[in-house]
Structure 1
């Protein structure tokens, strides 16, 4: 590898990472992070919530805001990651960012294998969990095995905003 290329790679990695703002830092919660131009979409880039990572998961305007039944994403015998907001138990409703029609809409996301130990999706299919592809923090959301809908929990992602 040439020294110029190595220097360029090192310089690119020294750029400051975006600072993820949690949903709880917004005065008006979900209404502060969404746009209502016909269909409600994400007002800001969605980021990995881990400070120091801040990897862009979805660009602004790509995800649609939906309210739906909560999904259990962690087995009950495992303590959830303290960096992630606990999800309400089903059938409680929670806010989700819906991404369609393919995983190519994501900037950076990782998928688990189909998870056998969790409850199935509302349609009865196995779940795949979504995590930051850079630092593996998750689960941030879920999709059905072979599905075309990808769901990110609004409370489990960070937001790139200068106003929060």
Structure 2
């Protein structure tokens, strides 16, 4: 990971009434082309950019849903939500590929 690809700010919950710290700055690498369900409907939306992590314990405060899909090998796919207010999906956890993505347009970046 290069320092320029790391999140430059703390990442907080997008809910204005919550703003819980989800991820400290310089903890995740920027990636592109993520697909997540809409926050208010069941349709899918492409989130063009997001933060990639390889360890769930890097988060300060995140919730993980029960498995939403199982593949033929028994691997599960889970959505990330705010652990305080439960808004989401903010991203996803793919156990098969050991990948964690947090969509940039689903969180608030605190520049303080």
Same fold (TM over 0.5): yes
Deviations 1:90-111 (A, max 9, x none): xxx71110012x2110000000
Instruction: Report the equivalent of 1:43.
Output: 8
Cα distance in 2 for partners of 1:41, 1:110 equals 22
Larger % of helix: which? 1
Aligned length: 107
- Aligned to 1:149, which of 91, 99, 108? 99
> Structure 2 length normalisation: TM-score?
0.81
| Structure 2 portions without partners, runs of 5+ | none
Q: Does 2:26 match 1:72?
A: no
RMSD: 2.6
Deviations 1:75-126 (A, max 9, x none): xxxxx339xxx722xxxx71110012x2110000000011039xx7xxxx53
Alpha-carbon spacing, 1:108–1:146, altered in 2? closer, same or farther (3 Å): farther
> Structure 1 length normalisation: TM-score?
0.57
Larger % of strand: which? 2
Instruction: Report the equivalent of 1:87.
Output: 45
| Structure 1 portions without partners, runs of 5+ | 1-35, 75-79
Instruction: Report the equivalent of 2:50.
Output: 96
Q: CA deviation at 1:52?
A: 1.6
Cα distance in 2 for partners of 1:57, 1:146 equals 23
Cα distance in 2 for partners of 1:148, 1:59 equals 20
Query: Which structure would you say has the larger Rg?
Result: 1
